[in-house]
Each structure stands twice: as C-alpha cells, then as structure tokens.
Structure 1
Amino acid sequence: MWAAFDGDHTPSPNDGSTSTSGARTWTSGEVWKFFTQFQSGPTTSPSASPSQSPSASPSASPSASPSASPSASPSTSPTGGSGACRVSATVNAWNNGLTENFSITNTGSSAINGWSLVFTLPGGQTITNGWNATYSPTSGQVTATNVSYNGSLAPGATTEIGFQATHTGNAAKPSAFTLNGSPCTVA
C-alpha cells in the first residue's frame, strides 16, 4: 500500500528505519490505524497473515480488549439484497485502448453486503488494470468483486467501478450484467 504524507506529519515507521529518503515501511496494523482514522466502522486491525508478520513489537499494549474478534476469513458468499440492480456503463476509447466506468445501483429494498458483478467483455478486449473492484479473468466473462470499502450497498446506493483495457478494434460496452447472480437493468 502506498500513501503520501506531508513533512512533519509523517508518522514514524515500525521497521526501525531512520531513513530520510522518504521510503518507509509500516506494519499492516499501522497502515490500518492511519487509514481508518478517516472513516467510521471497524476499529480493530485485520489480522496479519503468517507471511506478513510485523518486524517489530508495538511499543505499548492496548488498554482494553476489543469486544469482538475479527473472523479468520471473510465470508465467501455475498449476502443480502433482492438482486435488484441497475448498471450504467460509459466508454472512452482511443486507437487500441479504452477506459470503462460502471455505476452499480442497488434498486432493491434490502442492503447488499458483498457483491460480484458478472459481464462479458466484447471480443478483443483485455483488462490491463482496474479500480474499486478486483477483476478476474481479464477477458471473456469477467467477475468484478467489491473491495473492502465498497462492499455494502444500501437500498438506492450507487458505487462506481472501472478499468482500463486494450482492444483490437471493438470498443463496445458489455450488453448484460448480473449482480450476485441476478440480472441487472442496463441504463
């Protein structure tokens, strides 16, 4: 994860570095603490995986125990919602590339907690990078899955996702979408 900090507001890294080059390393807990200070929601840091053990122990122990333990793994199935959704897509194409943005709206009466949007890219299109979702695979029938900060959609709520792709002459938009297995209206 990369974050920009300004001058004297740069927190000290937990890796023991005293470098002034600007390259610093923080444990996942410190990164979590920094980014979650700007939002409401969970106040406990996610567990580090065994391959990402912190390199230094925290300097102070917490004063209170959290009221709930984080689960060992996220839910594998999105939940909630009636499947009622609307997707609008916009494409900006050039020579052999394009960007595509989707607005996904929950038109149902229940919240959606975790979502996967499935669509088929027109032939010759291959996703090279994306934002606000994970995309797999990068061509053919693609599944865009929510990321940590946009997985919940209240009734009437909209989230925006998108990607950059290459194309071989066909810069058309996908024509159909399903959200958590239910067809969406295409706007």
Structure 2
Amino acid sequence: MAYQVNQWSNGFTANVTITNRAAAINGWSLTWTFGGNQQITNSWNTQLTQSGTGVTARNVGWNGAIPTNGSQTFGFQANYSGTNNRPAEFRLNGTVCTNA
C-alpha cells in the first residue's frame, strides 16, 4: 500500500494505491485513523466516509476487483491545521496493510 501526499499550508491531496499480494478480492474497504484534525473535503475513485478521525474508503462499481499482485488507486483532498502526519496503520478488509 502506498500513501503519497501533496501538501500546502492548510490542505493536502493524497493518492492511495492498494496492491494486493494475497488471493484475488472482489470488493474492498480500506480503513485508517488520522492522528490530527484532518477533514476530507473531496474524493475520487472511492466511496469515502469520515467519522471523527476514522476514515473508510470503499470501492466503487468499476474498481472493486483486485487480482493477486494487482492494484487500485484512489485519492482525496483534505484540510488540516497543525501537523499532518501519515496515518499509523491502514487495514484492507480488516487486515493490517504493509506500507510502502
């Protein structure tokens, strides 16, 4: 899993690439918790919800399948104040991801 950020004074965009190293999956959900006050304002290639610091990104109709060694990418835009640290842990369908 890769989490790439483009940051400015009080906002950022992030591109997230999920790479599946296990058996093929059809339907995914990626969850994480922000360590600060990040608030997502927009997203693409995902159905994204945020409750407090917790975030859930789910596949949309055209990108639910990830074959073994395949990947899917989505992104979002967010605001923040203070620091914008990378989330400590991501979980794909409940399993902790290895970060790249």
Distance across 1 between alignment mates of 2:19 and 2:31: 14
Aligned-pair identity (%): 45
State the partner residue of 2:15: 101
- Output the TM-score relative to the length of structure 1: 0.52
Taking the TM superposition and a 5 Å limit, the aligned residue runs for 1:153-168 are 153-168=66-81
The answer on whether the counterparts of 1:91 and 1:101 sit within 8 Å (CA) in structure 2 is yes
Letter of the 1:102 counterpart: V
Unaligned runs of 5+ in 2: none
Structure with bigger strand share is 2
Q: Check if 1:90 corresponds to 2:4.
A: yes
Shift of 1:169: 2.1
State the partner residue of 1:186: 99
Unaligned runs of 5+ in 1: 1-86
State the partner residue of 2:33: 120
Runs of 4+ in 1 over 6 A off after TM superposition: none
Higher Rg: 1
- 2:83 pairs with one of 170, 184, 187: 170
Report the CA distance shift for 1:148/1:155 in structure 2 as closer, same or farther (over 3 A).
Answer: same
Report the CA distance shift for 1:138/1:91 in structure 2 as closer, same or farther (over 3 A).
Answer: farther
- Output the TM-score relative to the length of structure 2: 0.94
State the partner residue of 2:58: 145
* Matched residues, number: 100
Structure with bigger helix share is 1
Distance across 2 between alignment mates of 1:166 and 1:106: 29
